[in-house]
Amino acid sequence: MKLFTPDYYVESYHAIDLERLKRQGIALLVCDIDNTLVPHDHARADDDVRAFIKRVKDSGLAVAFVSNNVKERVETFASEFHAPCYPFAKKPLKRTYRKMMNELGYRSDQIAVLGDQLLTDMLGANRMHFYTILTNPVAKRDLKCTKVNRVFEQMIFSLLEKRGKLKRGNYDDKVL
C-alpha cells in the first residue's frame, strides 16, 4: 500500500506549502493537468492556475507537466508557462519519468509530483521515489477510463484508512 500513499495530502493545489517542498530538497514540481489543475475538458489554464504556477516559479522551484493525455492537449496547456511537458506519459509506468529526469537533469529526491489519482499519479511517482502530493480532483466529472480508476481508488482509500495511512478528507494542508 506504500506505493499508493502520498507524502503530502492537500485539499487543493492552492494549499501547497512551497516552503515545505523546498525544505524537503525539492527543486522541480511536476504537475498532472487533468482534474489536478483544471477539469479534463478545459484546454487552457484559468487565472487561479496561472497565479499558482507563478507562485511556484517565484519560490524558486521549476515546473514541468506530465499527463496521460494527448500531445496537442498537453502542449496547448503547457505552452503559456514555457515549461517542459510530457504527454501520453502512460503513468504509472516509469519510462516518461526517466526521460524527464534525463532531459531536465534532476535526481529523484529533487522531484515532487502533484496529482489527483492514486492509481496513476501516486503509484507512478512513488515507484520512482519522488515526493508525492495528492490533491482532490478539481471537477467531479471524469473521463470513462478515469471513472474505472476511481472505483479501485475508493477501495485503496478504504484499505489505507483501515491501516491508518491515509483518510480521505484528512488533509495535511487545507485551503484557507
What CATH number does the domain containing 62 carry? Answer: 3.40.50.1000
Q: How much is the pLDDT for 147?
A: 66
Let me know if residue 171 belongs to a domain: no
Let me know if residue 9 belongs to a domain: yes
Instruction: For residue 159, give Cα distances in angstroms to 2, 5, 117, 168, 171.
Output: 11, 11, 15, 11, 17
In 3-state terms, what secondary structure has residue 71?
helix
Q: What is the pTM of this model?
A: 0.91
> Number of folded domains in the chain?
1
The answer to whether residue 150 scores a pLDDT higher than 80 is no
Residues 44-94: tens digit of each pLDDT: 999 999 999 999 999 999 999 999 999 999 999 999 999 999 999 999 999
Let me know if residue 23 belongs to a domain: yes
Let me know if residue 140 belongs to a domain: yes
Q: Which domain holds residue 132?
A: 2-162
Let me know if residue 174 belongs to a domain: no
